[in-house]
Chain A
Amino acid sequence: MADAYGASRGDRLADEFWDHLAAGRFVVPRCDRCGRHRFPPTTFCPECHGIDWAWTAVSGTGTLWSVTTVRVPPSPELAADVPYDLGVVELAEGPLVLGRLSADNPADVGTRPIGTAGTRPIGMAVALVVDPPAATGEPARYHFRPA
């Protein structure tokens, strides 16, 4: 079952992730046996197949693995957001996470020629930012900013 924002309720793993996020912590399962961090949350380790694990807060530092500037809104409610930068970030702990990249200067987003690295080159250092739940009812979210 998904709420209006796509976050599910009723799946223990996902619910715990979003509850931690609402408390300001971006956590991922860390394997008790081999120490691998994994995201999205799963019940056993894709590395060693160990079934014991614990929620572990990540450092929040990472590097930009890939980036795109979205110019066409995928849905009407995002029409006011374009253009926006979307990135894949490799966290220091290993997992890849998809998220928006905040703009230091929003006017810069979408101005670079298509296909060029621009001011957000792959490999740049970024930091994960937790966005707390909003009074309007929006759940906690996260994004990345240049570090």
Chain B
Amino acid sequence: MTTAAAAGDREVAIVGVHMTPQGRQLGRSSQDLMAEALFGGLADAGMDLDEVDVFCNVTFPDGNGLGATPGNMATLLGRPLVAAIPYSGPQALVYAAALIRTGQARTVVMAHGCAQPPPGEAVAAYTTPRYEFTDWTGSFTAAQFALQARRHMHQYGTTVEQLAQAAATVRNAGSVNPEAVMFGRGPYTVDDVLAARPIADPFTLLMCALVNDGGSCVVVTSADRARDCPHRPVWMLGGAVEQRFSTYYNVPTLDMLESRPRMVEAVRRAGVAHDDVDLLSVYDHFAIGPIMAVEAAGFCPVGDGGAFVADHCGFGDGRLPLSTHGGCQSHSHNMVPYNHTIIEVVRQFRGDVPDRCPGWATDDHTYDRSQCRRVADPRLAVVCGPMTGVFSTAVLGRD
């Protein structure tokens, strides 16, 4: 990993993270959750708001309508910004790094908060976007990605058991995470996942993301500024974004897999070999998510993702632990949980990994997977997401 390219790329660092409580119907506003995340992240970075040049946040057209849109951020913050970027997670991190590397900004915050409307609809409102060529057919998010999954099964031989294994792997990590909405639920076997309530073939309920409230924040800054921050920097070594069709509005396809060459090149330019990656954290809105992510990010050939996740994405020597916080299916899906993949990597690098091990607070873990989700001494990680028309990959490392 320590090629000249990687060493030269230590110009951008993640120096602060914060996760608010995640849960169903927390009784708080979206803006309140965003603010807690924002100030928590800045406190973790040893910064205050005056240092922030750029704000990144995703707000869907419906829901989350309490003002925390990029267009309103300068008003909310009471100060001008270099930019308000309507993205989150790995995608925002790639753009943040570009602004920091070119000197247009020094500090970027990626802060998100979302409170779902009270229950009443059968599914969350944002999963049924109004669009004249899709919504009246009875399509919605789970169906859109079920169609993608069914095509993947047909074209590449992916099995429903492999989908269930991907769901079980992520959920079983979340089941020992006290911060996960589904803490204590599980562990699940493949049969448990397959026996759950059917939603849209081939997805059962346990292959689908949660719907809950919560906020998150990631603080990114230059290497110079990072040296004065309280935590050791987590380096953003490289990454790439590829924009493709919107799966919400267009017919679902597998075209996201065609972003693979750009993602493979981004990992190579970060000076990293896929085999050296210690931890993978992906946006898993549905069980097909991790399977397509490992293919698009270059961890296995296109079409082999089902087998790769089933055979390699556990814990232990030579394995690639996957979304060890529990992902969107067990930890949290607060409408836009894209930051969570990054936050999990930062916390694994720091050794701040709450689980059922008695000594977790002092980073004393048992590595007994019935109670532990700690990755042993991770140094390199890849984060990916989202899977909704755009795919992005970022490579993170520590000294």
Q: Which residues of A contact B (CB under 8 A)?
A: 2, 5-8, 14, 18, 39-40, 65-76, 78-79, 81, 84, 86-88, 96-100, 112, 114-115, 122-123, 141
Which residues in A have their C-beta under 8 angstroms from that of B198?
69, 71-72, 114
Pair B160/A114 contact, Cβ less than 8 Å: yes
Which residues in A have their C-beta under 8 angstroms from that of B143?
68, 70, 74, 86
Pair B200/A100 contact, Cβ less than 8 Å: no
**Cα separation A70 to B123 with both chains bound (whole Å):** 13
Contact residue among A66, A73, A88, A97 (Cβ-Cβ distance under 8 Å from B122): A73
Pair B201/A74 contact, Cβ less than 8 Å: no
Pair B253/A96 contact, Cβ less than 8 Å: yes
Contact residue among A76, A86, A97, A115 (Cβ-Cβ distance under 8 Å from B138): A86
**Cα separation A75 to B153 with both chains bound (whole Å):** 28
**Cα separation A78 to B143 with both chains bound (whole Å):** 14
Which residues in A have their C-beta under 8 angstroms from that of B131?
6
Pair A72/B138 contact, Cβ less than 8 Å: no
Pair A88/B199 contact, Cβ less than 8 Å: no
Determine if B134 is an interface residue (Cβ-Cβ < 8 Å). Answer: yes
Contact residue among A8, A67, A68, A98 (Cβ-Cβ distance under 8 Å from B134): A98
Report which residue of A2, A18, A79, A81 has the largest number of chain B beta carbons within 10 angstroms of its beta carbon: A2
Which residues in A have their C-beta under 8 angstroms from that of B142?
70, 72, 74
Contact residue among B121, B139, B160, B201 (Cβ-Cβ distance under 8 Å from A98): B139
Q: How many residues of chain B have a CB within 8 Å of chain A?
A: 40
**Cα separation A6 to B121 with both chains bound (whole Å):** 18
Determine if B140 is an interface residue (Cβ-Cβ < 8 Å). Answer: yes
Which residues in B have their C-beta under 8 angstroms from that of A79?
122
Which residues in A have their C-beta under 8 angstroms from that of B132?
2, 6-8, 14, 18
Contact residue among B130, B148, B201 (Cβ-Cβ distance under 8 Å from A115): B201
Contact residue among B123, B127, B138, B202 (Cβ-Cβ distance under 8 Å from A114): B202
**Cα separation A73 to B200 with both chains bound (whole Å):** 10
**Cα separation A50 to B123 with both chains bound (whole Å):** 41
Determine if B251 is an interface residue (Cβ-Cβ < 8 Å). Answer: yes
**Cα separation A49 to B143 with both chains bound (whole Å):** 31
Which residues in A have their C-beta under 8 angstroms from that of B123?
72, 74-75
CB distance from B369 to the nearest CB of A (A): 27
CB distance from B190 to the nearest CB of A (A): 12
Closest to A85 in B: B201
Which residues in B have their C-beta under 8 angstroms from that of A65?
151
Contact residue among B130, B159, B160, B194 (Cβ-Cβ distance under 8 Å from A6): B130
Which residues in A have their C-beta under 8 angstroms from that of B154?
66, 122-123
Q: A6-B135, A66-B151, A100-B138 are in contact. Are A75 and B122 (CB under 8 A)?
A: yes
Pair A97/B160 contact, Cβ less than 8 Å: no
Which residues in B have their C-beta under 8 angstroms from that of A115?
153, 159-160, 163, 194, 201-202
17 A-B contact pairs sorted by A residue (CB < 8 Å): A18-B132, A66-B252, A67-B147, A67-B201, A68-B146, A69-B198, A71-B197, A73-B138, A74-B143, A88-B147, A98-B139, A98-B251, A100-B138, A114-B201, A115-B153, A115-B201, A115-B202
Determine if B128 is an interface residue (Cβ-Cβ < 8 Å). Answer: yes
Pair B133/A40 contact, Cβ less than 8 Å: yes
Known: A6-B130, A69-B198, A78-B138. 20 other contacts (CB 8 A): A2-B130, A6-B136, A39-B133, A40-B250, A65-B151, A68-B200, A71-B197, A71-B201, A72-B123, A73-B138, A74-B123, A74-B127, A86-B143, A86-B147, A88-B253, A98-B137, A114-B201, A115-B159, A122-B151, A122-B154
Determine if B204 is an interface residue (Cβ-Cβ < 8 Å). Answer: yes
Closest to B124 in A: A74
Determine if B150 is an interface residue (Cβ-Cβ < 8 Å). Answer: yes
